[in-house]
Amino acid sequence: MKAALVVVVFFAASAFAQDQAAVTASEAACGPKSVQFDATEDATQHPTPQPEPGKALVYIVQDLGEVQCSGCALTKVGLDGTWMGANQGSSYTFFPADPGERHLCVNWQSRLGWRSRAFAMANFTAEAGHVYYFHTRISVSRYIYVFDLEPINSDEGKYLVASSALSVSHPKK
């Protein structure tokens, strides 16, 4: 009986270790957990940059939908393990990306621990000279928050960027 218990514990520990390894690998798209951002919405600016030579351009548009509250949703945006900026409220941010397979991450920055565990991830293959749009949404249903990140087509992306505020962010010191 003791041998069977040891085998069950061993397999359970192995399964947990495999899951933790998968979680750690997935979180590699994000930046260090210790990095925090300050961000504000600026509706007076609407830059329309072109991709830098040899790079792609990535937009992340955040839509709070029915979650309308001032300062309640700041999400950090990561690319391949580096935080690129943050979105505050219903806003957008953009940044260049090297060609090749890229991994995106958005993470809800909050003093509430359970909110800070909200991540969404996506991957895509960037091509130089192309523009990519992603939409992140936070939905609430009976105190359950759903957080997602999805690619969107360029027509919808341009519309959402034009109708959103620019997010101006910088890491906290």
pLDDT digits (tens, 9 = 90+) for 30-74: 899 889 999 999 999 888 899 999 999 999 999 887 665 555 688
Same domain, 116 and 133: yes
- Per the prediction, the chain carries an average pLDDT of 83
Q: Could you tell me the pLDDT band of residue 102, with boundaries at 50, 70 and 90?
A: very high
The pTM (predicted TM-score) of the whole model is: 0.82
Which structural domain, as residue segments, surrounds residue 23? Answer: 1-28
Domain tally for the chain? Answer: 2
Q: Do 36 and 101 have their domain in common?
A: yes
* Residues 44 and 16 placed together within one structural domain of the fold: no
Give how far Cα 86 sits from Cα of 4, 62, 136, Å. Answer: 50, 10, 12
Can you point out the beta strands (E) in the chain? 37-42, 56-63, 74-79, 82-88, 91-97, 100-109, 119-126, 131-141, 144-152, 165-171
- Same structural domain, 10 and 39: no
Q: Going by C-beta distance under 8 Å and a sequence separation of 6 or more, which residues neighbour residue 22?
A: none
> In terms of domains, do 100 and 133 share one?
yes
Mean pLDDT of 111-122: 75
Report pLDDT for 25.
61
Same-domain status, 68 and 142? yes
pLDDT value at residue 73: 81
* Residues 35, 23 share a domain: no
Q: What is the pLDDT of residue 122?
A: 96
Which of the residue ranges 23-37, 122-136, 143-157 has the most confident prediction, judged by mean pLDDT? 122-136
What is the pLDDT at residue 7? 39
Same domain as 49, residue 89: yes
> Is residue 48 located within the same domain as residue 60?
yes
CATH number of the domain where residue 154 is located: 2.60.40.2890
The yes-or-no verdict on residue 18 having pLDDT over 80 is no
| Residue 77: band (very low, low, confident or very high) from pLDDT cuts 50, 70, 90 | very high
